[in-house]
Amino acid sequence: MRFIYIILFLSCLSAKAQQHCGYDFSSYLVLHIHEDGKPENIANLKVTLIDFFGNELVNAGNKYSWTHRDEVMTFYENYKIDANGNKVSETPNEEKTRWFFPFAKATYLISVTNDFPIEGIRAKIEDVSEKQVYQTQIINLFAFNMYVLCTTQAEKAQQFGARVNKPVNVVLKRRE
């Protein structure tokens, strides 16, 4: 009888230890892009990851992200969803809307692997509208810019210096 209790206890411990976070093996880069003095995120920008030489980073064979295999690493805007999980327009009729990624709010984001080689990688921000308003800007990215969302991984990522899980603040300048 004691043997059965031991087996049950060990299986409960094992089940608890094997629980996974929904964001295991992924981190996020989050950019809050706005004008000086304005808190609103600027919509409809093209934001891509580039290497040291200015070449767009391609996710060859899912090397850098678990999504969008063999595509250019492009940020997308966070969006709101309704109670059923469907994407909603900017003017929702329903009151129960929330951000798809609640940790990111109104920002640009991209999913990367936890072992993403961020050294030397930069973000290129372009206004690609017909009548361009903002200057193109390139910013450096650092390991502390990555959102690590699972608690065990976040504890490992916590270092001295800048706080983890804080959006990169980017202030765009208008064209002259």
pLDDT (tens digit per residue) in 1-41: 676 656 666 555 554 444 445 455 678 899 999 999 999 99
Instruction: Supply the range of the domain harboring residue 61.
Output: 19-172
User: Which one has a higher pLDDT value, 63 or 6?
Assistant: 63
The DSSP 8-state label assigned to residue 45 in this structure reads -
For residue 165, how many other CB atoms are within 10 A of its CB? 18
Looking at residue 155, what is its pLDDT? 46
Say if residues 170 and 137 touch (Cβ distance below 8 Å).
Answer: yes
Strands 168-172 and 26-35 turn out to be parallel
Instruction: With cut-offs at 50, 70 and 90, classify the pLDDT of residue 147.
Output: confident
Q: What is the mean pLDDT of the chain?
A: 81
Domains: count for the chain: 1
Instruction: With cut-offs at 50, 70 and 90, classify the pLDDT of residue 100.
Output: confident
User: Which one has a higher pLDDT value, 38 or 104?
Assistant: 38
Looking at residue 10, what is its pLDDT? 57
Domain contains 9:
no
Domain contains 138:
yes
